[in-house]
Amino acid sequence: MALVQPALKKDDDIDDDSEYSPFYGIEKSAVLQEARCFNDRELDARRCAQVITKLLYLINQGETFTKNEATEVFFATTKLFQSKDIGLRRMVYLMIKEISPSSDEVIIVTSSLMKDMNSKTDLYRANAIRVLCRVTDGGLLGQIERYLKQAVVDKNPVVSSAALVSGIHLYQSNPEIVKRWSNEVQEAVQSKAPLVQFHGLALLHQIRQNDRLALSKLVSNLTRGSVRSPLAQCLLVRYTCQVISESGPNTQTGERPFFDFLESCLRHKTDMVIFEAARAITELNAVTNRELTAAITVLQLFLSSSKPVLRFAAVRTLNKVAMTHPLAVTSCNIDMESLISDQNRSIATLAITTLLKTGNEGSVDRLIKQITNFMSDISDEFKIVVVEAIRSLCLKFPKKYRSLMSFLSNILREEGGFEYKNAIVDSILILIREIPDAKESGLAHLCEFIEDCEFTYLSSQILHLLGNEGPKTADPSKYIRYIYNRVILENPTVRASAVSALAKFGVVVKELRPRILILLQRCLYDNDDEVRDRATLYLSFLTDGPEAVDGDAQAFLFQRLDLPLANLEASLQSYEPSERPFDLAAVPRDVKPQQQVEKKAPTSREKKAAKDASQKAAADGGASNTFEAHEKLLNSIPQFAGFGKLFKSSTPVELTEAETEYAVNLVKHVYSGHIVFQFNCTNTITEQLLENVSVVMEPIEGEDFNQVATKPLASMPCGVPGQAFVAFEKPEGACSLGKFSNTLMFNVKEVDPSTGEPIEGDDGYEDEYQLELSEVSAADYILKTGVSNFRNAWESIDSELERVDEYSLGVRESLQDAVQAVTTILGMQTCEATDVVPSNARSHTCLLAGKFLGDIQVLVRLSVGIDSQKQVAMKLAVRSEDPTVSDIIHEIINS
C-alpha cells in the first residue's frame, strides 16, 4: 500500500541517491492527532489506511501507548467498520489485533467481528476469525466455537487455514476446547489445499503431542502416503524423527521404526522435502554410516545444483556431519573443492571448512593456498569459522604446523575486528601448548603481532604468555626487545603487563638478570603509578638475594592466586597500616555476594543527558555500583559510620515518573539496627539551581522506626546527580516493616543561561516536590546468596525446623509467570537453574537460597502446579537455622 512520503529537506549535503524511509521523523503525538480522521463523517479510506500504517509502525518499533491513548485509538478504529473499502478493512483487522483491547473494551467490537465471520466475503471471514481468536477470552470462545469448527472444514482454503492457525494459538490458553475439534482437524489434514493440510497437521500434532501412543499412530497413518503438501511433508518428517528418537531401534532387527519412510522422502519430487529428510537422517541419535549413505548421496547431488540455496543447505549440513562422521563425507570432497570458488562466499567458507575437517595430510598445503585467495572477501564471522577449522586440522596433523602456523600469522597481520584477532591468537596459544615443536615459531609470530596490536587485552595476554614461556626457550634474550618496546610505546595497562613479563625473565634466567634490573629501574620513572609500583616490587624481589629470587619471587610470579579478586580487593581496602603485615591467608575463599544496582534506561530523548547522569548517582566518587561501593560511601559519612556492618543494599526504586522535572530514585541500606535511605536526585531543568536539597520522610506505618540522622545535598545544578540521606533507627536485629511518605525540599535559584551561574542578588525561594511512597518490606532483610550444593545444604538443616504450607496463586498465564512472581517477592537467589520452567510442564520445583538479617541461612523449595483452567497451586517448604525466619518467609507470601 502506497504511503505519502514526507517532504525532504533541500540541503546540499543530502545525497539525492539516498533512500529515505516513508516513516522518517514521525512522532506518536502527531500520528494520534491524525487518527482523528477516523471520526470524520465522510471517511477517506486511503488517508485512514495511511494513519493505521503509521500506528502499526510505531507499535512495531516498540512505542508504548498509555491506557487512555490505546482506548481512544481502539474506539476510533472500530468506527471504520462502516467503510466498505476492502483494503481499509484489512488494516482495521491488523490494528485491532496489535492494539490488544482489554476484556472490557473487546465487547464493543465483538459483534462486528462475528458479523464479518459469517459474511459472504471470504476475505472478511478469514481475517475476522484471526482477530476474534486473538482478542477473545474463554467465555466468548464457547459462544463462537461452533462457527470455528465449521470454518476448519470450510471449502475456501483461506478461511479453513485461518481457523486452523487460530486453533494453534488458542491451544495455549484453551486446550480443552481446541481438543474437541479433532475430527474436523483430521478432515482438514486430508484436504487437497497444501496450506490447509500443513496447518491441519501442525494443529493435530499439537493436540496429540503429550500422548506418545497417539502421536506414533498419527505418524503411522500419515506415512502411508496421504500427505501431498510439501510443507506438510516436511512437518511429517520432523514428527517422524521425534517418534524415532522416543521409540529407539527394534530389539530384534535393530532397525529404526519409520526409517523406510525417511528414505522414501529422499526420492520425493520436491527439493524441500528431500533436504528435510536428508537433514533429519544426519541428525538421528547414534546414526550409522550405512544409514548416512543415502542422505550423503542426495546432499552430494545438491552440491552441484544451480540454486545457491540448495548448495548452501547441503554444504552446511555436510559441515555438521563432518564433525562426527568425517569419513562419510569424504566422498563429497571433489564436489566441495569446486565450491571453493563459488560466488557466494558463505558457501565457499563452509566448503573449505568441511574440507579441512575431512581432508588428508597430503591435501593440507593445497587447501591452505586456496583459502588464502578468498580470505579477504569474507566477513569476520566466517573468518573465525575458518580459523577454528585450521586449528582443528593442525591438531589432527601436527607435522603440518609450519604451514598452518604461517597461515595464521599472515592473517593475523591483516585488518580485522577484535573477535577475529582473538580467535587467531587463541588458536596460536592452543597450538603452542599442544605441539611443543610449534612453540618457538608461535612465540615469534606473536612478538611481531604485538608490535602493531591495537587491542589492549590481546597485548596483555601475549605478554603474559611470553613471560611464562619465553624464559624456557633456547634463546630467551631475543624476546626482551619486543617486551621492552611495549614499556616505551604502549598504554599504562600494557606497560604494566610488560613489566611483569620482564620480571619473570629476571627470575628464571640468571644471565639476563643484570640487564633486566636496568630495564626495571628505568620503569621507576613511568608516569603511571601501577607501572611504578610493579617495577618497585619486582626490583625488591630481584635484589633481596638468591633465596628471595628462587623462593618468594618464583611463587609470587608463577603460582596462581587461588582467591576471589573481589574478596582480595575488599580485604585490602579495609586493611589499616600497622605493625601486623597484610595476611593473604585471612582473605575469605568463598565468593562474596555483590548487590548489583540495576540501571533504568532513559525514556525521553530531550532529557537523556539528565537521565544518564542520574544513573551514576548510586556511587559517589566511583563508577562501580556494587555493594562495596555503597559500603565505602556510607562509611565515609560521619553520621552513619557508627552503624556497624552493612548487611544489604537494595536495587534502586524510582520515586518519580519519567519525564518529570526532577528524577529521584531510592536505595535502601540495611544495617542490624538501622535503615539508611539514599535518595539519588537529578535536576533536569536548565534554568534552575537547587540548593539545600533534603527529603522529609513521615512514617505512615511502622512504629518501630525513629529518625536519627539526615544529610542534605548542598547544591544540585542541572544534570549533576547528588545524594540526600535519611537514617532511621529500629530494634537491633528485628525485621521491622514500615511505609513512608517522601517530600523533596529545596531552595530554587534562577540561572543565567549565558553564564550558567545563578543570577546575582537572587536569594531564591523555598519549594517542595512530592515523591512516591517508599516501603520497608520483609524482603529487604533477605540477601541473595547461592549455595553450591542445594541438596547438601538442605539436609544439613534439621528437618524439625522445616515450615511447610500450601497456597493458591489464582489464575496465571504459565508456571514460569508464577515462579517469577514468587521469586521476585521473596528476593532470594535461585539455585541450579531452577528458575527456568520447561515448556509444557504441568508442575515444577524451584530452589531458592538466601541469608536473613544476622547472616541466618534460609532455604526454600517452591513447588508449583497448574491445571487445565490455569489455576496455580503452590507448596512452600522453608528451612532455616532460626524457625522464626521460616515463619517470616511464609508471612511474606501471605501478605
Contact 302, 336 (CB under 8 A): no
Compute φ and ψ for 248, nearest 5 degrees: 85, 170
Residue 805 belongs to a domain: yes
Same domain, 806 and 851: yes
The secondary structure element, H or E, covering residue 204 is: helix 194-208
Same domain, 761 and 845: no
Same domain, 644 and 758: yes
Q: Nine-digit cell at 371?
A: 583459502
**Last residue of some domain: 255, 272, 287?**
287
pLDDT at 151 over 60: yes
Average pLDDT over residues 442-454: 87
Q: In terms of residues, how long is the chain?
A: 895
Q: 300: closest CA among 290, 291, 310?
A: 310
Average pLDDT over residues 817-834: 83
- CATH code: domain of residue 816: 3.30.310.10
The secondary structure element, H or E, covering residue 689 is: strand 688-701
pLDDT the model gives residue 694: 92
Same domain, 751 and 678: yes
Q: 171: closest CA among 182, 156, 161, 160?
A: 182
The secondary structure element, H or E, covering residue 410 is: helix 401-412
Same domain, 691 and 638: yes
Same domain, 721 and 674: yes
Count CB-CB contacts under 10 A for residue 189: 24
For the chain, the average pLDDT equals 81
Distance in angstroms (rounded) separating the CA atoms of residues 400 and 395: 9
Choose the weakest-confidence range: 191-205, 237-251, 691-705: 237-251
The secondary structure element, H or E, covering residue 768 is: strand 765-770
**Tell me: the pLDDT tens digits for 841-890?**
778 888 888 888 888 889 998 888 888 778 888 888 999 888 888 888 88
Give the number of C-alpha atoms closer than 13 A to the C-alpha of residue 733, restricted to the C-beta side. 6
Distance in angstroms (rounded) separating the CA atoms of residues 780 and 888: 12
- Identify the domain containing residue 221 by its residue range: 211-287
User: Please, which residues have CB within 8 angstroms of residue 166's CB and are 6 or more apart in sequence?
Assistant: 129, 130, 132, 133, 134, 148
Per the structure, the count of domains in the chain is: 4
Same domain, 648 and 719: yes
pLDDT the model gives residue 608: 40
Could you give the 3-state DSSP secondary structure of residue 620? coil
Q: What is the DSSP letter of 673?
A: S
pLDDT the model gives residue 675: 92
Q: Where are the beta strands (DSSP E) in 599-673?
A: 648-649, 653-654, 662-670
**Tell me: the pLDDT tens digits for 57-111?**
888 888 888 888 888 888 888 888 888 888 888 888 888 888 877 766 777 778 8
- CATH code: domain of residue 520: 1.25.10
Q: Is the pTM of this model over 0.85?
A: no
**Last residue of some domain: 526, 559, 592?**
559
**Last residue of some domain: 529, 559, 589?**
559
Distance set, CA 546 to CA 510, 540, 550 (Å):
10, 12, 6
The secondary structure element, H or E, covering residue 625 is: none
Q: Is the dihedral of CA 716, 676, 781, 807 positive or negative?
A: negative
Same domain, 766 and 788: no
Q: Give the rounded percent of residues in the chain with a pLDDT score beyond 70.
A: 88
Same domain, 729 and 863: no
Residue 293 belongs to a domain: no
pLDDT at 14 over 70: no
Could you give the 3-state DSSP secondary structure of residue 587? coil
Same domain, 759 and 831: no
pLDDT at 251 over 60: no
Residue 321 belongs to a domain: no
What's the farthest any 2 CA atoms get from each other in the chain? 101
Q: DSSP for 20-59, please give it.
A: --TTTT--HHHHHHHGGGGG-SS--HHHHHHHHHHHHHHH
Distance in angstroms (rounded) separating the CA atoms of residues 438 and 403: 11
pLDDT the model gives residue 666: 92
pLDDT at 310 over 90: yes
Average pLDDT over residues 705-720: 87
Distance set, CA 38 to CA 74, 179, 362, 567 (Å):
10, 40, 74, 64
Distance in angstroms (rounded) separating the CA atoms of residues 730 and 706: 7
Q: 652: closest CA among 675, 619, 685, 700?
A: 619
Contact 560, 554 (CB under 8 A): no
Contact 880, 801 (CB under 8 A): yes
Q: Regarding predicted confidence, which is higher, 589 or 190?
A: 190
Q: Give the rounded percent of residues in the chain with a pLDDT score beyond 90.
A: 11
Same domain, 784 and 752: no
- CATH code: domain of residue 730: 2.60.40.1480
Residue 90 belongs to a domain: no
Residue 189 belongs to a domain: no
pLDDT at 599 over 70: no
pLDDT the model gives residue 669: 92
Q: Nine-digit cell at 808?
A: 493458591
Average pLDDT over residues 587-614: 44
User: Please, which residues have CB within 8 angstroms of residue 859's CB and are 6 or more apart in sequence?
Assistant: 787, 790, 793, 794, 797, 847, 848, 849, 878, 879, 880
Residue 733 belongs to a domain: yes
**Tell me: the pLDDT tens digits for 377-422?**
777 777 787 788 777 777 777 777 787 788 888 888 888 888 888 8
Residue 256 belongs to a domain: yes
Same domain, 745 and 788: no
**Tell me: the pLDDT tens digits for 722-770?**
889 999 998 888 888 889 999 999 988 888 776 767 777 677 888 888 8
Could you give the 3-state DSSP secondary structure of residue 698? strand
Residue 665 belongs to a domain: yes
Contact 790, 879 (CB under 8 A): no
Distance in angstroms (rounded) separating the CA atoms of residues 485 and 464: 15
